[in-house]
Structure 1
Amino acid sequence: TSSVEIGQGTHTSLAQIIAEELGISAERVSVTFPDTDVTPFDQSTSSSRTIFTMGSAARQAAGQIRQQLLEIGSHAFEANVEDLELRDGCLQIKGAPEKRRTISQLFQAHYGAAVGSMAASYDNQTRGGVDPKTGKGKASAFFFLSACAAEMAVDTETGKVTIEKIVSAVDAGKAVNPKQCHMQNEGSMIMSLGSRWCSTVGSRSTRRF
């Protein structure tokens, strides 16, 4: 992936998405962040767009691997692909969990070879962009909507500012990792408070701030 890990939990969330698609535990998925000189272009690592864009690409690539495993299993079980499923790190016949093989056993049945072809995917849901003349178009694949309000008290003698209460509401959609989503929102609130504390409101007539 061209995305970078800056503390937002990309490594864990991408592993969860891939693991769910392949029916294995997230601990068995290794997510790497190679030199971006050799990876497809990514616009930025910001907000939650990494999970939305890179997560979609990872899911599609994992789906290709899943299909290849099912095809290998169809020969091993002499069954139709539609009758097979991946669950708990094993391939089994639907409705007959006793007839199952681990992914490692599938590779052994495939003479130790890896999946038949490299799986890769590129997700770009902002094709078309914005018309420079009208300003209309699809500027972003999605918009992250949130609102935050805070009650603050100011000591008029010392100037000390105290946060009495702060509330944030986020339209997060599907949270891949709810705990990380909550912490990311908490971090964004702290960053917003920092910028507000450093901002000033002045009067042109009195030159007072």
Structure 2
Amino acid sequence: MTNEQNQTKKLIIGLTGGIGSGKTAATDWFAQQGIKIVDADVIAHQIVAKGSPTLQKIAAAFGKQVLTESGELNRQAMRELVFNSKHAAKNLAELEAITHPAIREQAKTELQQAGSAYVIMSAPLLLESQEAGLASLCNRVVVIDVPEKLQIERASKRDGLTEEKIKAVMAKQLSRKARLAQADDVVVNDGTLEDLYARLKPLHEQYLQIVESY
């Protein structure tokens, strides 16, 4: 347990999984059990709200081109800079250097304020190097796992993406093998929603037991 985890005095469960794995379905179930969910994707949108210090830093680094006329983040322009421009890798690293510390600080605040028995930190890239700071806040990591073929099928049905685009997203995430190697708990989500819930229930009970020993 890190010093930061000791400061929170809470059991923090990191939850992650690849695209189409069913992370949202899992966190929705935990939320229905009264467990607080801290969602890195939600925080990532909140920190770049119009007028926020983080958005001001982004504009200072990349220029007014990344702002809309109304002063909000121009996400399309930002995506072009970090994925399709000549200096995409440099731009992405610069953007992450601004946003990731802000995401981490907001996550820490929400984790500390959570009033549920334990807390879930949900992040698609929890275990990837650029968001390793979030993983260090967690006591345990649970991976929602799904076979690649089913992963592509679900993501395509949900988002209307082509198989090529889904595989491009997957290429930016850890491989299934690497993700599973870092998991404390694994939930295989290869069936119905009811199957998923049945597999989450014993984990929930296990986490409640761990809390009792704190």
| TM-score, with structure 2 as normaliser | 0.28
- Which entry has the higher C-alpha Rg, 1 or 2? 1
**More strand, by proportion:** 1
When normalised by structure 1's length, the TM-score is 0.28
